[in-house]
């Protein structure tokens, strides 16, 4: 069952803030990387490729955690825990372009690895905050 995002922290998901996405490697150690993301009111979405470790991690264990820290107040944060619920092919890199524009590059172009691109869709199952 999903847990709603606290109203007073939704802005952290709506603003173009880099966030740290954690997955679990095959050896059970964590992998955490900064990521662009978007929030559609129910799920979180990321652009990625099928050729990288994070994608392989999620194929073995769909558990994910996203930490967003308010750049204006580092003591204010939201952690979202959930699972990979879908990997949508994005062979033209259109979602990469969308996120690049969301994060401030109006001239964002598709990346060279566009044929390997997917949109990772994360459920929101639990949140913690400060």
Question: What are the domain boundaries of the chain?
Answer: 7-89+120-129
pLDDT at 32: 98
Question: Which fold does the domain 7-89+120-129 belong to in CATH?
Answer: Pnp Oxidase; Chain A (2.30.110)
- Phi, psi of 62, deg, nearest 5: -75, 5
For the whole model, what pTM was predicted? 0.94
Residue-wise pLDDT tens for the chain (130 aa)? 566 899 999 999 999 999 999 999 999 999 999 999 999 999 999 999 999 999 999 999 999 999 999 999 999 999 999 999 999 999 999 999 999 999 999 999 999 999 999 999 999 999 999 8
pLDDT at 50: 97
Hey, is 22 helix, strand or coil?
A: strand
Could you give the CA distance from residue 130 to residue 69 in angstroms, rounded to a whole number?
10
Hey, is 23 helix, strand or coil?
A: strand
pLDDT at 130: 82
pLDDT at 3: 64
Could you give the CA distance from residue 41 to residue 7 in angstroms, rounded to a whole number?
11
CA neighbor of 9 nearest in space, from 47, 39, 45: 39
pLDDT at 2: 60
| Count of C-beta atoms within a 10 Å radius of residue 85 | 12
């Amino acid at each position: 069952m999903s847990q709603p995002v606290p109203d007073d922290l939704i802005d952290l998901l709506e603003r173009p803030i880099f966030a740290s996405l954690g997955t679990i490697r095959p050896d059970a150690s964590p992998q955490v990387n900064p990521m662009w993301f978007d929030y559609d009111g129910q799920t979180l979405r990321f652009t990625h490729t099928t050729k990288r470790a994070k994608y392989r991690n999620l194929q073995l264990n769909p558990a994910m955690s996203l930490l967003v820290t308010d750049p204006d107040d580092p003591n204010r944060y939201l952690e979202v825990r959930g699972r990979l619920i879908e990997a949508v092919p994005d062979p033209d890199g259109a979602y990469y372009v969308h996120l690049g524009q969301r994060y401030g590059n109006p001239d964002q172009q598709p990346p060279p690895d566009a044929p390997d691109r997917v949109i990772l869709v994360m459920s929101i199952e639990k949140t913690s905050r400060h």
